[in-house]
Amino acid sequence: MCGIAGQVASPGGTPVQRSVLEAMCAAMEHRGPDSRGLFVDGDAGLGIQRLRVVDLVTGDQPIHSEDGSVVVVLNGEIYNFRELRARLRARGHRLSTEGDTEVIAHLYEEHGIDCVSHLHGMFAFALWDRARRRLLLARDRIGKKPLYYALLDGGISFASELRALLEDPRVPRRVDPCAVDRFLAYGYIPAPDSIFAGVRKLAPAHTLVLEDGSAETARYWRLDYSRKLHISDPRELVEPIREHLLRATRCRMIADVPLGAFLSGGIDSSAVVAAMARASPDPVRTFSIGFDRAAFDELAHARRVASMFGCDHHELVVRADAISILPRIVRHYGEPFADASAIPSFHLAEMARAHVTVALNGDGGDETFGGYTRYVANALAARLDVLPGFARRAAARRAPGLSGGAQSGTVARLGRLAAGLPLSPAQRYERYVSIVDAERRGGLYRPEFQAELSGGPGEVIAGAWREASGADVVDVMLEVDALTYLPGDLITKIDIATMAHSLEARSPLLDQDLMQFAASIPAELKVRGRQKKWILREALRGWLPDDILDRPKQGFSVPIGEWLRGELRGIVRDVLLDPGTLARGYFRPRAVEWMLQRQAAGSDADTKPVWALFVLELWHREMLDGDGASAALESRARVAV
């Protein structure tokens, strides 16, 4: 696991400066503290900060082909590298290392840009073809590893993290108003956009080729939900699901450094630990986070699973003073990021790194097998689409009475469902997943800011919905989440949290073969009435206790609403109503005031919006103001609690 960076100069432009590459690498030394490698060839340069996980002795990068004409830097792991090495040697290639990066250089010699289709793993890599003066950038199929870039007059600058990219003084720093709008809609900024107008993210399963001053991106893979297995008895799927999980877990246990697992006590992480225990002769090291609020704490469940498999178990309880690290988290994310579970994720990674260098996790189970309530709710809404329009509109008119005020839980979800009945399925889903829906954002923005917006965030969901390959609405939602929420929120969260502590995270449930197999399972076996992840639960019976499999989903949620109404109320209010905050010109002061009042009065519907506004302002102070203004929050938060 590493951080990569690089530049290609504009045709006829100034050659790459080694000092800039050094600065870009230094800004992400946390991603790879074990070694730094640089390659500069006139108008092209590559840089790498390496965390040594496999091939500790000969694997430092950049890596070259036999004749030195191809140069590669890799962030991530290629899980099928041993098979690829054997195949390449059989074709006469000479390999000088024992690691995985070298196979990319030789695959490129064999297959050119299509080399990426032969890789099974999590990766973002940069390859420089010295003969063709061609740059190839590629990102893995699911989007486990990030890559930012800026096109600069026929040249390019790129890096694993936005903060590193900004070490190149040519990279523009103008905030994109549309990105702010998308952030408030979803809590993250979906690829290919970034918070800055001139900076892009390479989307998952995409390549970028820069040659002769011209850049072209292309998609090389996508999940296919259109081809379904014909199942006469669901029990036929039990062993194939188990085998896919075991295979995906075993290949992610290949490491020359200590390895463990994150364990929440939920189905997905427990399944991964169960698979690890079957594959390891030694006790699995497990790491769990709890909270000082009982409704959010899962430590007892995690403890039980760890005991069942004889794990070497470690725990940490997170309290409200954990927010004191928020400015540090904001710096690492580089962009505004409003998933509050980033806080415990950060602490969990820090705890695990004291014991291991690699940690497996259960990410992806919900998006692969149908684990969210929104899948059930929107499947129900789709069945109600057969009702006449006037009946659906009548139900929507009653929705504000259901979902208004301080109500939350089932009543609020029913209100949200009813309010979306007159909408198209894509519009309904966009509204369901939004933190701040379009109507509320319109009331929040100042007219001058509103006038700068074009192409609302809803097109992110609508575009993915149109491209979806599945016919069943559940499959469509799974595919949309795999394209948006999964890489934009969940994967980003764990990558930044772990890499900030030089810890590599691996996700067996995001294995490309496992995900494609799950996509071929009929949707009604994933979401069965009100039952979520039904077929995965059935496959895991006998591996895990029934009460673990059948207990309600708790999720990695954070008591942020209670914190905002309690210990953190004064801090957040002072920040959001500060004259400097309001002077940025985004929001109507009165609208912000009303939102704060409603949240303080108990409205859970305003908790995520308030948190998003707070994170957005901290991002401005950390990344744009440059005066460390938000650092004062660290000491104040500790005093407040």
How would you classify the pairing of strands 134-139 and 206-211? antiparallel
**CA 295 → CA 298, 299, 557, 599, distances in Å?**
8, 11, 10, 19
Question: Contacts from 539-542 at CB under 8 Å and sequence distance 24+?
Answer: 539/237, 539/238, 539/241, 539/242, 540/242, 540/267, 540/271, 540/274
Q: Distance between CA 107 and CA 91 in Å, rounded?
A: 11
Q: Distance between CA 355 and CA 366 in Å, rounded?
A: 28
Partners of 129 in the β-ladder: 70, 134
C-alpha closest to that of 338 among 185, 144, 458, 203: 185
How would you classify the pairing of strands 2-8 and 155-159? antiparallel
How many C-beta atoms surround the C-beta of residue 108 within 10 A?
Answer: 22
Partners of 248 in the β-ladder: none
In this structure, what token pair is assigned to residue 131?
């003969």
- What are the E-state strand segments in 448-569? 504-506
Does 344 sit behind a cis peptide bond, omega within 30 degrees of 0 on the bond before it?
no
Q: Distance between CA 547 and CA 198 in Å, rounded?
A: 51
Ramachandran angles phi, psi of 72, nearest 5°:
-135, 140
Query: Coil, helix or strand for 301?
Result: helix
Ramachandran angles phi, psi of 113, nearest 5°:
-60, -30
How would you classify the pairing of strands 259-262 and 358-360? parallel
Q: Distance between CA 621 and CA 614 in Å, rounded?
A: 11
Burial 519-557 (b: 16+ CB within 10 A, else e): bebbbbbbbbeeebbbbbbbbbeebbbeebbeeeeeebe
In this structure, what token pair is assigned to residue 32?
């790879």
Transcribe 246-258 into DSSP letters.
HHHHHHTT--SS-
- Single-letter amino acid, residue 349: A
Tokens 């919900």 label which residue?
366
Could you tell me which residues come within 8 angstroms of residue 425 by beta carbon, excluding any fewer than 6 positions away?
Answer: 378, 381, 382, 385, 465, 473, 476
* Maximal C-alpha separation, the chain: 72
Query: Coil, helix or strand for 307?
Result: helix
In this structure, what token pair is assigned to residue 53?
């996980």
Q: Distance between CA 83 and CA 50 in Å, rounded?
A: 23
Q: Distance between CA 143 and CA 201 in Å, rounded?
A: 11
Q: Distance between CA 412 and CA 402 in Å, rounded?
A: 6
Burial 57-70 (b: 16+ CB within 10 A, else e): eebbbbbbbeeeeb
Q: Distance between CA 624 and CA 173 in Å, rounded?
A: 8
Looking at the annotation, which residues are catalytic? 2
